[in-house]
Amino acid sequence: GSSPPFELDNRNKRSMGLNLAVEEGRGIAAELVDGADVFVTNARPGALARAGLDYETVAARNPRLVYAHVTGYGLEGEDADRAAYDVGAFWSRAGVAAALAPEGSPLPYQRGGMGDHMAGLATAGAVSAALFARERTGRGQQVSVSLLRIGMYMLGWDISMSLRLGLPTTPITVAAPPNPLI
Protein backbone atom coordinates (compact mmCIF):
# COMPACT_ATOMS: atom_id res chain seq x y z
CA GLY A 1 0.00 0.00 0.00
CA SER A 2 1.14 3.47 0.81
CA SER A 3 2.25 5.42 3.84
CA PRO A 4 1.85 9.16 3.29
CA PRO A 5 3.81 10.11 6.47
CA PHE A 6 6.74 7.91 5.40
CA GLU A 7 6.54 9.28 1.87
CA LEU A 8 6.52 12.86 3.20
CA ASP A 9 9.62 12.37 5.34
CA ASN A 10 11.56 10.25 2.86
CA ARG A 11 10.75 11.66 -0.57
CA ASN A 12 13.66 11.77 -3.02
CA LYS A 13 15.98 9.91 -0.65
CA ARG A 14 18.19 7.06 -1.67
CA SER A 15 19.03 4.63 1.08
CA MET A 16 20.36 1.21 1.93
CA GLY A 17 20.33 -0.95 5.01
CA LEU A 18 23.65 -2.05 6.50
CA ASN A 19 24.25 -4.54 9.29
CA LEU A 20 26.82 -2.66 11.37
CA ALA A 21 27.22 -5.66 13.68
CA VAL A 22 29.30 -7.42 11.01
CA GLU A 23 32.64 -6.38 9.51
CA GLU A 24 31.30 -6.21 5.96
CA GLY A 25 28.59 -3.72 6.95
CA ARG A 26 31.06 -1.56 8.87
CA GLY A 27 33.44 -1.64 5.87
CA ILE A 28 30.74 -0.46 3.48
CA ALA A 29 29.77 2.31 5.91
CA ALA A 30 33.42 3.42 6.14
CA GLU A 31 33.70 3.55 2.32
CA LEU A 32 30.55 5.66 2.09
CA VAL A 33 31.81 8.04 4.79
CA ASP A 34 35.17 8.41 3.04
CA GLY A 35 33.48 9.87 -0.03
CA ALA A 36 30.69 11.80 1.69
CA ASP A 37 30.21 15.52 2.27
CA VAL A 38 27.67 15.05 5.08
CA PHE A 39 26.93 12.21 7.49
CA VAL A 40 23.56 12.47 9.28
CA THR A 41 22.69 10.09 12.09
CA ASN A 42 20.20 9.71 14.89
CA ALA A 43 21.85 6.64 16.40
CA ARG A 44 22.99 6.76 20.01
CA PRO A 45 26.64 7.74 20.58
CA GLY A 46 27.57 4.39 22.12
CA ALA A 47 26.24 2.43 19.15
CA LEU A 48 28.11 4.70 16.74
CA ALA A 49 31.36 4.24 18.69
CA ARG A 50 30.97 0.44 18.61
CA ALA A 51 30.47 0.60 14.84
CA GLY A 52 33.45 2.92 14.31
CA LEU A 53 31.11 5.69 13.18
CA ASP A 54 31.62 8.13 16.06
CA TYR A 55 32.66 11.66 15.15
CA GLU A 56 36.32 11.31 16.17
CA THR A 57 36.85 8.14 14.11
CA VAL A 58 34.97 9.40 11.07
CA ALA A 59 36.58 12.86 11.13
CA ALA A 60 40.02 11.25 11.21
CA ARG A 61 39.13 9.37 8.01
CA ASN A 62 37.47 12.33 6.28
CA PRO A 63 38.46 15.72 7.76
CA ARG A 64 36.14 17.61 5.36
CA LEU A 65 33.07 15.70 6.51
CA VAL A 66 30.18 17.54 8.15
CA TYR A 67 28.85 15.19 10.82
CA ALA A 68 25.28 15.92 11.91
CA HIS A 69 24.04 14.12 15.00
CA VAL A 70 20.38 14.29 16.01
CA THR A 71 19.76 12.97 19.52
CA GLY A 72 17.01 12.83 22.08
CA TYR A 73 18.85 14.50 24.93
CA GLY A 74 22.15 15.85 23.59
CA LEU A 75 25.68 14.50 23.26
CA GLU A 76 26.71 15.10 26.88
CA GLY A 77 25.29 14.21 30.25
CA GLU A 78 23.76 11.15 31.81
CA ASP A 79 21.07 10.80 29.13
CA ALA A 80 23.35 11.13 26.10
CA ASP A 81 23.01 7.41 25.30
CA ARG A 82 19.35 7.18 26.23
CA ALA A 83 16.94 6.12 23.49
CA ALA A 84 14.40 8.78 22.64
CA TYR A 85 11.45 9.48 20.43
CA ASP A 86 9.66 12.68 19.58
CA VAL A 87 6.82 11.98 22.02
CA GLY A 88 9.21 11.43 24.94
CA ALA A 89 12.04 13.90 24.55
CA PHE A 90 10.29 16.76 22.74
CA TRP A 91 6.62 16.50 23.65
CA SER A 92 6.84 15.22 27.22
CA ARG A 93 10.22 15.92 28.77
CA ALA A 94 10.68 19.38 27.25
CA GLY A 95 7.23 20.29 28.59
CA VAL A 96 5.53 21.04 25.30
CA ALA A 97 2.41 19.01 26.15
CA ALA A 98 2.03 20.63 29.57
CA ALA A 99 2.49 24.10 28.08
CA LEU A 100 -0.51 23.54 25.83
CA ALA A 101 -2.97 22.13 28.36
CA PRO A 102 -5.00 24.59 30.45
CA GLU A 103 -5.31 23.64 34.11
CA GLY A 104 -7.77 20.82 34.67
CA SER A 105 -7.88 19.73 31.05
CA PRO A 106 -6.30 16.61 29.60
CA LEU A 107 -3.01 16.80 27.75
CA PRO A 108 -3.47 17.41 24.02
CA TYR A 109 -2.72 14.69 21.53
CA GLN A 110 0.56 15.20 19.70
CA ARG A 111 0.44 15.34 15.94
CA GLY A 112 2.98 13.02 14.33
CA GLY A 113 6.54 14.24 13.94
CA MET A 114 6.18 17.69 15.48
CA GLY A 115 9.56 17.67 17.20
CA ASP A 116 11.14 15.48 14.53
CA HIS A 117 10.25 17.95 11.79
CA MET A 118 11.52 20.92 13.80
CA ALA A 119 14.73 19.02 14.58
CA GLY A 120 15.10 18.23 10.89
CA LEU A 121 14.87 21.89 9.96
CA ALA A 122 17.37 22.84 12.66
CA THR A 123 19.72 20.12 11.43
CA ALA A 124 19.45 21.31 7.83
CA GLY A 125 20.38 24.84 8.98
CA ALA A 126 23.30 23.55 11.03
CA VAL A 127 24.58 21.44 8.15
CA SER A 128 24.28 24.40 5.76
CA ALA A 129 26.29 26.60 8.12
CA ALA A 130 28.92 23.89 8.56
CA LEU A 131 29.25 23.43 4.80
CA PHE A 132 29.68 27.19 4.41
CA ALA A 133 32.38 27.16 7.12
CA ARG A 134 34.07 24.22 5.39
CA GLU A 135 34.32 26.20 2.17
CA ARG A 136 36.25 28.85 4.08
CA THR A 137 38.40 26.59 6.26
CA GLY A 138 38.65 23.33 4.35
CA ARG A 139 37.58 21.40 7.45
CA GLY A 140 34.34 19.75 8.38
CA GLN A 141 32.85 19.77 11.85
CA GLN A 142 30.29 18.13 14.05
CA VAL A 143 26.90 19.75 14.56
CA SER A 144 24.20 18.41 16.84
CA VAL A 145 20.52 18.93 17.51
CA SER A 146 18.47 17.31 20.26
CA LEU A 147 14.73 16.83 20.53
CA LEU A 148 14.86 18.10 24.12
CA ARG A 149 16.69 21.27 23.06
CA ILE A 150 14.23 21.85 20.22
CA GLY A 151 11.32 21.54 22.65
CA MET A 152 12.97 23.95 25.08
CA TYR A 153 13.61 26.40 22.25
CA MET A 154 10.00 26.14 21.14
CA LEU A 155 8.98 27.07 24.70
CA GLY A 156 11.59 29.84 24.80
CA TRP A 157 9.08 32.61 25.47
CA ASP A 158 7.63 30.72 28.44
CA ILE A 159 11.01 29.74 29.82
CA SER A 160 12.56 33.19 29.49
CA MET A 161 9.54 34.88 31.09
CA SER A 162 9.61 32.45 33.98
CA LEU A 163 13.37 32.64 34.52
CA ARG A 164 13.68 36.41 34.06
CA LEU A 165 10.57 37.56 35.89
CA GLY A 166 10.02 34.62 38.24
CA LEU A 167 6.46 34.25 37.03
CA PRO A 168 4.90 30.87 36.40
CA THR A 169 3.77 30.32 32.84
CA THR A 170 0.32 28.90 32.37
CA PRO A 171 -1.36 27.67 29.23
CA ILE A 172 -3.73 30.14 27.66
CA THR A 173 -7.02 29.33 26.01
CA VAL A 174 -8.41 30.98 22.89
CA ALA A 175 -11.41 32.02 25.02
CA ALA A 176 -9.24 34.33 27.17
CA PRO A 177 -6.14 35.45 25.25
CA PRO A 178 -3.91 38.09 26.88
CA ASN A 179 -3.38 39.66 23.45
CA PRO A 180 -6.63 40.20 21.52
CA LEU A 181 -4.74 40.28 18.21
CA ILE A 182 -3.77 36.66 18.77
Residues written for the chain: 182
Active site residues: 116
Number of H-type helices and E-type strands within the chain: 8, 3
18 touches 25 (CB < 8 A): yes
What b/e sequence results for 114-139 when a residue is b if at least 16 CB atoms lie within 10 Å of its CB, and e otherwise?
Answer: bbbebbbebbeebbeebeeebeeeee
- Other residues' Cβ atoms within 10 Å of the Cβ of residue 55: 20
